[in-house]
Structure 1
Amino acid sequence: MVNGWFTDAPEGFRLLGTRCSACTAVFFPREDAWCRNPHCPGGGALVEVPLSPRGRVWSYTDGRYRPPAPYVSDPDAPWEPYTLVAVELEAEGMVVLGQAAPGVTVADLAVGMEVEVVGGVLNEDAGATWTTWRFKPVEGAR
């Protein structure tokens, strides 16, 4: 898990961003040092905010091969294709990239489809569980 990027609170799984108090720009991944908006009038305080739990598919593709060098990939581990989804979050209007939930393939997605962010497991090794966010279609969305 990347600390501070998401929370699995009682109200549901949410990505966490930061909002500049001067210009109201929202950032994900979060920004804790300064406002990245070049048009910000004063670089106000950055406050943690939960991001929209839903959005619409902006684009998607599938990953069918192991990452090439220099990226780390265990050649002895089984390889499973995965689906990547770019989602425009409802309120923020920003596009966030993530994997689709298990079982969701490119055949299940369409540009403009409503999806929601959910928690998921990226990897488990030596007793450690690496959690992440995933996107899945909202029931009845098409």
Structure 2
Amino acid sequence: MVAGWFDGEGDDFRLVGTRCSACGSVFFPREDTCCRNPKCEGGELASASLSRRGRIWSYTNTGYRPPSPYVTNPELPWEPYALVAVELETERIVVLGQAAPGVTVTDLEVGMEVEIVPGVLYEDAETTWTTWHWRPTGVAA
């Protein structure tokens, strides 16, 4: 898990970004140094829980094991997954993430509504690396 990128559980699970008090720009991943909006003179950056839903902007299938820092078990065969770019409902920013397990590119289409759900990126005997997944709305966990 990347500390500070998401919080909550179940229906309260959300990505956490930051919002600039001066211009209202929202950032994900978090920005803790300065506003990234070049037209903004700067303001306080506050933590902001992001929308749980959005619409698919684009998607693709991963056909190869990504390089580090992506965490995988090199002893297991690579299993492709769908990578989804989602425009968040309220913030109108695009956030990338994996599709939920069992969701493939054949299940997706541009404009489809999806929701964020907690997921496991990788786990071993000592650690579980948590992440977020995008799941089409109306699909059971």
Normalising by the residue count of structure 1, what TM-score does the alignment of the two structures yield?
A: 0.90
Structure 1 residue 12, shift from structure 2 partner: 1.1
Structure 1 residue 110, shift from structure 2 partner: 0.5
Equivalent-residue separation in structure 1 for 2:12 and 2:71 (angstroms): 32
- 1:78-89 → structure 2 map (5 Å cutoff): 78-89=77-88
Q: Classify the secondary structure of the residue corresponding to 2:116.
A: strand
Per-residue Cα deviation, 1:110-131 (whole angstroms, up to 9, x for no partner): 1000000010000002320000
Which amino acid is 1:36 matched to?
R
Decide whether the 8 Å contact of 2:10 with 2:117 is kept in 1: no
Q: Which has the higher strand share?
A: 1
Which amino acid is 1:88 matched to?
E
Structure 1 residue 65, shift from structure 2 partner: 1.7
Work out whether 1:104 is the aligned partner of 2:103. Answer: yes
Which amino acid is 1:19 matched to?
R
Per-residue Cα deviation, 1:87-106 (whole angstroms, up to 9, x for no partner): 00001110000000000000
Which amino acid is 1:51 matched to?
L
**What is the root-mean-square deviation of aligned Cα atoms in Å?**
2.1
Which residue number corresponds to residue 23 of structure 1? Answer: 23
Could you say if the C-alpha distance between residues 20 and 10 of structure 1 is closer, same or farther in structure 2, counting changes exceeding 3 Å?
Answer: same
Equivalent-residue separation in structure 1 for 2:35 and 2:73 (angstroms): 38
Which residue number corresponds to residue 63 of structure 2? Answer: 64
Q: Which runs of 5+ in 2 are unaligned?
A: none
Could you say if the C-alpha distance between residues 139 and 66 of structure 1 is closer, same or farther in structure 2, counting changes exceeding 3 Å?
Answer: same
Which residue number corresponds to residue 51 of structure 2? Answer: 52
Give the fraction of aligned pairs with identical amino acids, expressed as a percent: 67
Which residue number corresponds to residue 37 of structure 1? Answer: 37
Structure 1 residue 71, shift from structure 2 partner: 7.4
Decide whether the 8 Å contact of 1:8 with 1:119 is kept in 2: no
Bigger shift: residues 95-104 or 64-73: 64-73
Decide whether the 8 Å contact of 1:17 with 1:26 is kept in 2: yes
Which amino acid is 1:26 matched to?
V
The number of aligned residues is 139
Equivalent-residue separation in structure 1 for 2:113 and 2:136 (angstroms): 6
Which residue number corresponds to residue 131 of structure 1? Answer: 130
Equivalent-residue separation in structure 2 for 1:93 and 1:82 (angstroms): 25
